[in-house]
Amino acid sequence: MSAREDALEELVEVLHEKGLNEVYGIATGIADTKKYRYATFCRARTLDGEVKVFGTKFIQIKWQRGGKWGNEVCRSLEEAKEFLKKTF
């Protein structure tokens, strides 16, 4: 597995732990451009989001909650995991 795949797998574990797979589960894949791997997550009626892993030092997390959008860029896998645990 690649470093991006490994990082995404660890982040998906955190998403499952936080129960962010309520409506359609956690969908994972690779972007058409092949520049990043992604995972989508959700909480019924309140939250939709996506994690994009460009590399182990550039992970973007986007979400929508209550009609408001959020965006965070994490510079390490550990930073991304902590952000997910604290924010959602």
Class of domain 3-87: alpha beta
pLDDT of residue 23: 87
Q: What is the pTM of this model?
A: 0.94
Q: How far apart are CA 10 and CA 76, in angstroms?
A: 12
pLDDT of residue 1: 85
Q: 60-66: long-range contacts at Cβ-Cβ below 8 A with a sequence spacing of 24 or more? A: 63/88
The ranges assigned to domains in the chain are: 3-87
Cβ atoms of 54 and 36 closer than 8 Å: yes
Residue 59 has pLDDT above 90, yes or no: yes
Q: What confidence tens digit (pLDDT) does each residue in 27-39 have? A: 999 999 999 999 9
